[in-house]
Structure 1
Amino acid sequence: MASTSVSRIVRATPEKVWALIGGFDALPDWLPYIPESVASEGGRVRSLKNPEGEVIVERLVDFNETERHYSYAILQAPFPVDGYVSTIRVHAVPGRDDVAEVQWSGRFNPRGATEQEVVDLFHGIYADGLDALNKTLAG
């Protein structure tokens, strides 16, 4: 099983960051490459579309409001992986109340691609996503 993780310090309180990203169906609010998300099954499944119209279906597998994190599994996607589970977390930064650390990590089994190719793919998605989050919060 392969894995990758990216974290960024963003200029907003942990509460403000979580208010923006903590909803499982909130990706279009801060992630430009996911312009559409449709919730189903009481909000536990989201069907996403990217700008190319490709569909990604994900299921919420863990959610913790108090600790500000959730995990999800991919049910359907155009990615060369299976067994994909990802977690997004918002951490307080000790001694700072004006910033937060956001961590996006995932683990997965490559299928039809090398482990490095898949690690690079998701590392890029997470890094670009957290950079977009930072821009959204700064805007």
Structure 2
Amino acid sequence: MPRSYASAVLNASAEEVWSYVRDFGNLAEWMPGVETGLIEDGGPSDRVGCVRRLIGPGDSVFRERLSGMDDADRSYWYEILECPLPIRGARGRLRVAPVTDTGQAFVEWWGDFSADAADERAMGKTLARGIYAPGLDALRKRFG
């Protein structure tokens, strides 16, 4: 199963960054290309099992279910239920860790997925460079 990965160092504490990104329902606030986002049943956005519905360019729909959250590890993981990309069985994880010598936050975002052999390489790049890296760059800007 291929893995796509991106990481960044942010000028904020891990606690500050985690308190913002742990909201599984706020992706539209900071993720480039996400026009709207909501938790489908209107329930809490940190409830394991909740589903976020994201609308992107051209009314593309992404639906993702929160599979787990670990506040001690400052991470959450999710599965992609629906998306316009030619991938399947996709799972993602977002993690925030402290950079102990500077007090900054180290943020990692990665995902595993399956795709047809002809699409695998392109989808790996799309996730890493077209989704995760721009999202982390937006967080870097947000936290100065």
- Specify which of 103, 108, 132 is matched with residue 103 of structure 1: 108
Q: Deviations over 1:26-45 (max 9, x none)?
A: 10221131121110343410
Aligned partner letter, 1:104: W
Determine the C-alpha separation between the residues in 1 that align with 2:117 and 2:64.
21
Q: Which has the higher strand share?
A: 1
Question: Map of 1:34-45 to 2, 5 A cutoff?
Answer: 34-41=34-41, 42=43, 43=45, 44-45=50-51
Counterpart in the other structure of 1:120: 125
Counterpart in the other structure of 2:13: 13
Determine the C-alpha separation between the residues in 2 that align with 1:112 and 1:34.
28
Determine the C-alpha separation between the residues in 2 that align with 1:136 and 1:68.
19
Ranges of 4+ aligned residues in structure 1 off by more than 2 Å: 40-43, 111-114
- Specify which of 49, 67, 70 is matched with residue 64 of structure 1: 70
Determine the C-alpha separation between the residues in 2 that align with 1:131 and 1:69.
18
Determine the C-alpha separation between the residues in 1 that align with 2:57 and 2:97.
30
Q: Which runs of 5+ in 1 are unaligned?
A: none
> Per-residue deviation at 1:133?
1.1
Q: Which runs of 5+ in 2 are unaligned?
A: none
Counterpart in the other structure of 2:57: 51
TM-score by length of 1: 0.92
Aligned partner letter, 1:52: G
Determine the C-alpha separation between the residues in 1 that align with 2:113 and 2:57.
24
TM-score by length of 2: 0.89
Identity %: 34
Q: What RMSD over aligned residues (CA atoms) do the two structures have, in Å?
A: 1.4
Determine the C-alpha separation between the residues in 1 that align with 2:118 and 2:111.
17
> Per-residue deviation at 1:51?
3.1
- Specify which of 64, 80, 84 is matched with residue 78 of structure 1: 84
Does the 8 A contact of 1:80 with 1:113 survive in 2? no
